Structure 1
Amino acid sequence: MRIVQISDIHLGPTVGKSQLQRAVELTNSLNPDLVSITGDLVDAPVSYLSEAVLPLNQLNPQYGTYFVTGNHEYYTGDVDAWIVYLKTLGVKCLHNENIKIRHQVQDKDFFYLVGTDDVQGETFKYGDHGFKLDKALEGTDQKHAIILLAHRPSAAYSALSADKGIKLVLSGHTHGGQLFPAIVWVYFLNPYFIGLYQYSATSYVYVSSGTFYWGIPMRMFSTPEVTLITLHSA
């Protein structure tokens, strides 16, 4: 199972359609079975970015493309409209919910892909949004692997600490600090910074450093990425 993770694209004033097109082409070149978008995709309402986000409809992995909200989706004030619009582009938002990713031949062989909202949804009291792990895990069991998409490393730590049988969490948010000296501040503020971490003998966290950047169009001592994760059966 080949999962490509893109994260923290921040479509808006300094990241546009052509840059997203490059990320989509790179993603497709990796021949993913599944694509995960771990938050902070957009920095403006749908009415401003409906054209810029269109390259996402070129993603066509066998097992689908899935998205979870980041804090910036809530800053747009338009997160529900984004969830509806992304669905028209073939991108499914996991809004505190899960889906079974089944082997296309062996139907009994599957894992749970779980997605939680960013905590900012609850802070902003945005409808039914917020980091609601128990709701997201409803109907899952620990006989099958559970993979969680959660924007923030702090959410990843909370989820693994809850001892719910989660095997892998994919997160973003940190940008690897993006710029010095912010790197130092971001490093100490988050339980996981960038890259792969082992939480226990059977559970892991991967934190993307982000596919583009936020605000100032530059990085210093941090690297953008499109991430290929290959899962193997036990």
Structure 2
Amino acid sequence: MTETSDTPPTAGQEQEQGPRRSRLQLLMRYLPLVAPVLLWVVPGWVLLHAGQRWPLPVAAAGTALFVLGLVAMPVAMARGHGRRQQDAAAVVGDTLLGGIWVLFTWSVLLGALLRPALAAGGVGDSQDRARLVTWAVLGVSAVLLAWGFAEARRVPRVRRVEVPLERLGSGLDGTRVVLITDTHYGPLDRARWSARVCETVNTLEADLVCHTGDIADGTADRRRAQATPLGTVKASRGRVYVTGNHEYYSEAQGWVDLMDELGWEPLRNRHLVLEGGGDSLVVAGVDDVTAESSGLEGHGAHLAGALSGADPDHPVLLLAHQPKFVDRAAAHGIDLQLSGHTHGGQIWPFHYLVRLDQPAVAGLSRHGARTHLYTSRGTGFWGPPFRVFAPSEITLLVLRSTRAASSGG
């Protein structure tokens, strides 16, 4: 057993702890600067300077390209996503970011795995093996980026999921809920894509359509043309929306007002009730958890407020942008939470990093005594126009009553 003490640290201990805290603070401060350097330096070294012995013009030209990328990417990202909001620069910066992430990933993997495998198989000399690794990395990356671009730009496939809810009455068994989220209308004009997504949603004969935030990157006035097709979405019981974190980078109230104008009902810490066959379902929504630090008056995630006045015996469907809100949902006995935010990682293997911040990356999971969480991989994409091993989705959730099942209904 470890003993604890309330004795204040000595001067020597304070001196020891001080440098430790300073080093940690220094690391966190400079990580955003170090990460881009690693993203460009590692693949540059693996492809050009790890024993390939390319002719001098090849090595020099390749090195110059990596240096140019290292300089151009942060400059373009700053111009595109900073104060200037230049869409063309954002497209360049985002594309470079996605491309170098894929190149970095496969440089590390194939550099670590393929070279020893070739050596064990007696393939060529060290130079031959190094060059084979280079061509393999370039080939795999090119294929994945081309495929990932097509995946990001296509209309998402429909994913059908049945969700059993213990408290759902048999009168609402089979309720069809369509979830779209993280549309991220942005620098690449996707007005036609948006219209086709809405057409697909309308084929699903939804009772309820939900959008769980991150509509766009940019203000409502700037992205209005891309968002307008959302007004054509049809649902027999209603269309509901909650804010995501990206709304709070881009005048969130403007997006709330636009969705209201388009016929969607913003569930800002409140609820509505769906009824059918003598049974009821509470549909509640909360602002994104980042709303509290946004400085916008009246914005914040307040689950108690969202459930105020609701019958505690009725099942609750909760819309919350980020999966990590499920801790609060489970504590309140919510039956089903719908979320987005993660994009399923968007570009493999980024989902491992997402998992450090969120309790789920994609799909249906169980939390607490009765709370289900469904995390969508998102309908659109953020930033880099690629999706690699993380396809987008339009989700059709069919709610099932376990009461109906047990009675043979």
TM-score band by shorter chain is over 0.9
Could you tell me how far apart the structure 1 residues matched to 2:326 and 2:190 are?
Answer: 29
1:23 has 2:197 as partner: yes
1:93 aligned to which of 266, 287, 290: 266
TM-score, normalising length: structure 1: 0.93
Could you tell me how far apart the structure 2 residues matched to 1:197 and 1:60 are?
Answer: 28
The answer on whether the counterparts of 2:319 and 2:338 sit within 8 Å (CA) in structure 1 is yes
3-state DSSP class of the match of 1:188?
coil
The answer on whether the counterparts of 2:333 and 2:370 sit within 8 Å (CA) in structure 1 is no
Structure in which a larger fraction of residues adopt strand = 1
Instruction: Please state how far the C-alpha of 1:228 moved relative to its aligned partner.
Output: 0.4
TM-score, normalising length: structure 2: 0.54
Instruction: Please state how far the C-alpha of 1:182 moved relative to its aligned partner.
Output: 1.9
1:69 has 2:236 as partner: no
| Cα shift readout 1:100-122 (whole Å, capped 9, x = no counterpart) | 1122xx4x421100000001111
The answer on whether the counterparts of 2:269 and 2:286 sit within 8 Å (CA) in structure 1 is yes
3-state DSSP class of the match of 1:51?
helix
3-state DSSP class of the match of 2:366?
strand
Could you tell me how far apart the structure 1 residues matched to 2:181 and 2:228 are?
Answer: 16
CA RMSD in angstroms comes to 1.3
Could you tell me which runs of 5 or more consecutive residues in structure 1 were left unpaired when the two chains were aligned.
none
1:203 aligned to which of 371, 380, 391: 371
Task: Give the letter for the 1:61 counterpart.
Answer: A
Residue 207 of structure 2 is matched in structure 1 by: 33
Residue 223 of structure 2 is matched in structure 1 by: 49
Residue 143 of structure 1 is matched in structure 2 by: 313
Residue 138 of structure 2 is matched in structure 1 by: none
3-state DSSP class of the match of 1:231?
strand
Residue 153 of structure 1 is matched in structure 2 by: 323
1:114 has 2:288 as partner: no
Relative contact order higher in (CA < 8 Å, ≥ 6 apart)? 1
Of 83-92 and 14-23, deviating more is 14-23
The answer on whether the counterparts of 1:210 and 1:224 sit within 8 Å (CA) in structure 2 is yes
Structure in which a larger fraction of residues adopt helix = 2
| Cα shift readout 1:49-98 (whole Å, capped 9, x = no counterpart) | 2222111111120111100000001110x211221221121111100111
Could you tell me how far apart the structure 1 residues matched to 2:353 and 2:258 are?
Answer: 35
Off by >4 Å, runs of 4+ in structure 1: none
Residue 189 of structure 1 is matched in structure 2 by: 357
1:12 has 2:182 as partner: no
Task: Give the letter for the 1:8 counterpart.
Answer: D
The answer on whether the counterparts of 1:118 and 1:151 sit within 8 Å (CA) in structure 2 is yes
Q: Which one has the largest radius of gyration? A: 2
Could you tell me how far apart the structure 2 residues matched to 1:101 and 1:84 are?
Answer: 23
Could you tell me how far apart the structure 1 residues matched to 2:399 and 2:291 are?
Answer: 31
Instruction: Please state how far the C-alpha of 1:158 moved relative to its aligned partner.
Output: 2.4
Could you tell me which runs of 5 or more consecutive residues in structure 2 were left unpaired when the two chains were aligned.
1-174, 404-409
The answer on whether the counterparts of 2:351 and 2:361 sit within 8 Å (CA) in structure 1 is no
Could you tell me how far apart the structure 1 residues matched to 2:185 and 2:326 are?
Answer: 24
Residue 295 of structure 2 is matched in structure 1 by: 125
Residue 232 of structure 1 is matched in structure 2 by: 400
Residue 171 of structure 1 is matched in structure 2 by: 339
Could you tell me how far apart the structure 1 residues matched to 2:272 and 2:381 are?
Answer: 30
| Cα shift readout 1:137-181 (whole Å, capped 9, x = no counterpart) | 111122111110000011122221x2x231000001000011133
Percent sequence identity is: 38
Could you tell me how far apart the structure 2 residues matched to 1:116 and 1:41 are?
Answer: 15
